[in-house]
Amino acid sequence: MPLPAPILDAFRIQSEACRNLGSPFNALVCDLLAGRLSPSSAFGRRIHGWPGQPVDDALALRACGSLHALSRSGRSPALTAAYPPAATDGDALWHAVETAIAGHDGFLAGYLDGPPQTNEVSRSASILGGCLTLAAATGLPLELYEIGSSTGLNLGFDRWHYDLGGRVWGPAGSPVHIVSRWDGEVPLDAPLSVVRREGCDRNPLDPASPADRERLLSYIWPDQAARLARIQAALHATAEAGWHVERADAADWVADRFAGPGTAGRVRVLVHTIVWQYLPAATQARIDAAIRTAGAAATADAPVAWLRVEPDGVKGSAGVRLTIWPGGEPRLLGRADYHGRWHLWRPGT
């Protein structure tokens, strides 16, 4: 019994995205599930009968994450043996998936309950570029407020080491090294200082919790070893730093953090990366209203800024946009790969 058309399309779309983002293995998992998964198991029935929007709900990534989590646990030896770094073909992998479903159907079906959280730390390169631009424009230290923070990895963006097209920034001894092909100029010598950093998420994960770390890592694509290692390093560093991600509704949290006048001599900056599309329209509207109200009251010695790295209709990349108040003129700083692998930096209006 084939998957219903909208669900089949969701898996095919995700397969193409995985290939374009350098994960042929996860693309193969999507293809196999799309072509061979039957509703004979609880896992299969949940996917065949998914009640929501399969693309918006990231159903394919939920399914891939469930299998990766089981393979990482070692509780299904056949599945673990078929996953990277082992080489496998489609038939052998599918046999391992069927074995895993037969032995761990309840686990796999239950894993579909939660939306994927990747907290891609390489997106910190986009945040760095935007915050350096903001620091150069204002000359002031930053108060960083991030929505959709997950485990808070990107709250520490200024603690990581970067290679941006051969130009380096950040402490060489940082446990997290981020490499991004960078085309364009960014003010690497701007006086960047982060004096406050806070985050919120509807379902924050604790980087110090082994279970939460495994949950996060399950959504990192299995054949991207360097990416897995980098995020593991960022998890340990974030746990040691103790940055707090609050469980909160994003709109309520932004309204609270940006209410009233800011502290003189600081910039309050709202940050988010690949989050906006997952927020309900009403939440988006409330956040937009709150930040613009704060911007209308901003002063030169207590500015407000909005830095977002979000899809904007240009296939294969996100737009990096910065708005600074007083003024409130939005600027497209550049474009970025969804995983931070490259940046095209062309600051403009």
pLDDT, tens digit (0-9, with 9 covering 90-100), for 192-208: 999 999 999 999 999 99
User: How many angstroms separate the CA atoms of 349 and 338, rounded?
Assistant: 22
Asked whether the predicted pLDDT for residue 2 surpasses 70, the reply is: yes
Asked whether the predicted pLDDT for residue 1 surpasses 80, the reply is: no
Integer CA distances (angstroms), 308 to 160, 318, 319, in order: 19, 9, 8
Q: Are 218 and 65 in contact (CB under 8 A)?
A: yes
Asked whether the predicted pLDDT for residue 349 surpasses 70, the reply is: no
What are the beta bridge partners of residue 269?
144, 305
Q: Where are the domains of the chain?
A: 5-111, 121-345
State the average pLDDT over residues 91-108.
97
Provide the mean pLDDT of the chain.
Answer: 95
State the average pLDDT over residues 55-83.
97
Query: pLDDT tens digits, residue range 150-170?
Result: 999 999 999 999 999 999 999
pLDDT bucket at 348, cuts 50 / 70 / 90:
confident
Strands (E), 173-266: 177-183, 194-201, 245-247
H or E stretch covering 70: helix 59-73
